[in-house]
Amino acid sequence: MRNRWLHRCAILLAAVAFLSMCTGGAVTSNEERPLYSVGQSHMWLSAGVAVLTIALLLCLRSAGATPWLRRLGWMALALLAIETVLGFLPLPQPPAVRIAHAFIAQLFFPLTVAIAALSSIGWKPHPAPMEGAGVLLLAAKTTPFVVLAQVALGTLFRHGALGVGPHLIGAFVVVLFMLAMALPVIYGPEYRALQLAARLFLAAASVQVFLGLALFSMQSMDVDPVVMIVVTMVHAAVAALTLSATLMLAVLILRDVRRVTGRSLAVGAEQSST
């Protein structure tokens, strides 16, 4: 029962954190302020995030969670503390503060998603391993960091600290890493247990790429600023979802897949011959 309440608290925290991040985009990346009223709810949602984060830590302690899960909870609290300090700095805030505030939000949400997944009753820390190529494991280890770098470039571009060029180049690089991690899982029958996570990951990434191309096209068109701001906010929100999906698929691959070695191949050949 305690584990169930821990899981429910983590899910609620992730949901409120996502809403807080969405409304925060109406404040930090909305210079013209046509949707500033939407951002007024950001403070109340952020207060809810703070309360739920403290409640999550209490649940982690009372539920006897694993050390790794408790560390993630303390990491979430540390990020929340930094985010709160940055958010309460007097207006108008310098670009560096707004960039740091937006980027930390992108880190906090995937962390809450990971806690929600790891606290699930159905989570198996040591399932039956599946054998896979070393390339897949390498992609699982590197893709989250590549996606995180792309999110950082997007945050810098959104706040005017960087041109669009690096973000566009990064998008092509990220797509290659994403395909290297997802396609072997989707088309490998031995990875049947991971295929749903891989498809959800590619769906989020596809929406993110489409939104990015739409924003790039809108820059050369006479588009209502409100539309631009809304699409930008959605693009930032889907970026957090994509980063979360990347992290979770990578965790599942690293948890479930072990590298094929020469010894395992020899054993498999011996078993097939007998």
What is the per-residue pLDDT for 30? 53
Residues in the chain where the model's pLDDT stays below 50: 1-2, 262, 264-274
What is the per-residue pLDDT for 134? 80
What is the per-residue pLDDT for 34? 56
Domain check: are 99 and 154 in the same one?
no
Burial 179-193 (b: 16+ CB within 10 A, else e): ebbbebbeebeebee
Find, among 251, 268, 122, the residue nearest to 185 by Cα.
251
φ/ψ of residue 36, rounded to 5? -65, -25
Q: Are 69 and 119 in contact (CB under 8 A)?
A: yes
How many whole angstroms separate alpha carbon 7 and alpha carbon 12?
9
DSSP state of 122: T
Domain check: are 29 and 68 in the same one?
yes
Q: Are 52 and 9 in contact (CB under 8 A)?
A: yes
Could you tell me which residues come within 8 angstroms of residue 265 by beta carbon, excluding any fewer than 6 positions away?
none
What is the per-residue pLDDT for 88? 83
Alpha helices in 63-133 (DSSP H): 67-87, 95-118
Domain check: are 269 and 144 in the same one?
yes
| Tens of pLDDT, residues 105-159 | 999 999 999 999 888 877 777 666 777 778 889 999 999 999 999 999 988 988 8
Which residues are paired to 132 by β-bridges? Answer: 259
Return the structure tokens found at 13.
Answer: 């925290």
How many whole angstroms separate alpha carbon 125 and alpha carbon 162?
41
Domain check: are 118 and 135 in the same one?
no
Domain tally, the chain:
2
Which of 123, 156, 179 marks a domain boundary? 123
Rg, C-alpha atoms of the chain: 21
Domain check: are 46 and 143 in the same one?
no
Domain check: are 144 and 268 in the same one?
yes
Which of 92, 123, 154 marks a domain boundary? 123
Could you tell me which residues come within 8 angstroms of residue 206 by beta carbon, excluding any fewer than 6 positions away?
none
How many whole angstroms separate alpha carbon 33 and alpha carbon 45?
19
